[in-house]
Amino acid sequence: MSRPGSRDKMGGGRLKVRVKTGKGRTVSQKNWLERQLNDPYVHEARKLGYRSRAAFKLSEIDDKYKFLKPGGLVVDLGAAPGGWSQVSAQRVKSVEGKGKVIAIDMHGMDEIPGVTIFKKDFYDEDAPAVLIASMGGAKADVVLSDMASHATGHRQTDHINIIALVEAGYDFARQVLKPGGTYLAKVLRGGTENQLLSAMKKDFATVRHVKPMASRDDSAELFVLATGFRG
């Protein structure tokens, strides 16, 4: 997969776009738009047909740890707009019928070749059963979670909210993963709570925090990667 090589290299040779305030934009909106226009990962995602720059985060993590394999079954939680599902479908070759990708998000998303999509809140009581039924009796090789709650601006509250999502995804992963499987989830700076991390280390051979190059330097996000599910 062609993708940006480094943050510095990607910025080279392109003039910085500056956005003026006005037209009803706040300063924060102006700063966000300026960052998007100057983000090389955003440009590359558009060029390659990815729905979000997040596709490169998963690509980079998988390039190093190699858990998305042809024929694999992947469940993508909090999948919209679909960048992770696109990468997963390519790598497990679900379009060719060799693997399977199942995605769920409360906001829904447009169809993606090789991906079964459910517009549903993962917190719905029946959501796990819906996903398990779609798996057709098979166990998953990988469970992905890029789920995030709306930021409150209060650091501790945001951390608590995202850890709750990580825990929900982890509980589901324990139900559906086959031995040797992988769970990847987004967390925030500060990492995974010690109690949860201890539990994950009992269930998986290796648990680590990773931050791919495509994750912005000023972003608080990290990812917890648990590999080698003990079953």
Give 83-120 pLDDT, tens digit per residue.
999 999 999 999 999 999 999 999 989 999 999 999 99
**What is the spatial distance between Cα 168 and Cα 179, in angstroms, rounded to a whole number?**
19
Query: How does residue 188 score in pLDDT terms, banded at 50, 70 and 90?
Result: confident
**What is the spatial distance between Cα 102 and Cα 72, in angstroms, rounded to a whole number?**
11
Position 82 pLDDT exceeds 90: yes
Strands 73-77 and 204-210: unpaired
The confidence score (pLDDT) of residue 54 equals 87
**According to the 3-state scheme, what is the secondary structure of 82-115?**
CHHHHHHHHHHCHHHCCCEEEEEECCCCCCCCCE
Is the Cβ–Cβ distance between 4 and 40 less than 8 Å?
Answer: yes
Query: How does residue 133 score in pLDDT terms, banded at 50, 70 and 90?
Result: very high
The confidence score (pLDDT) of residue 44 equals 64
The confidence score (pLDDT) of residue 47 equals 64
Query: How does residue 13 score in pLDDT terms, banded at 50, 70 and 90?
Result: very low
Position 45 pLDDT exceeds 50: yes
The confidence score (pLDDT) of residue 21 equals 55
**What is the spatial distance between Cα 138 and Cα 147, in angstroms, rounded to a whole number?**
23
Position 216 pLDDT exceeds 90: no
How much is the pTM? Answer: 0.81
160 or 45, which is more confident: 160
Position 43 pLDDT exceeds 60: no
70 or 11, which is more confident: 70
Position 46 pLDDT exceeds 90: no
The confidence score (pLDDT) of residue 93 equals 98
CATH no. of 54-229? 3.40.50.150
Is the Cβ–Cβ distance between 183 and 143 less than 8 Å?
Answer: yes
The confidence score (pLDDT) of residue 31 equals 43
Position 52 pLDDT exceeds 60: yes
Which residues does the annotation mark as catalytic? Answer: 186
The confidence score (pLDDT) of residue 214 equals 76
180 or 221, which is more confident: 180
Burial group, residue 193, by CB count within 10 angstroms (0-12, 13-18, 19+): middle
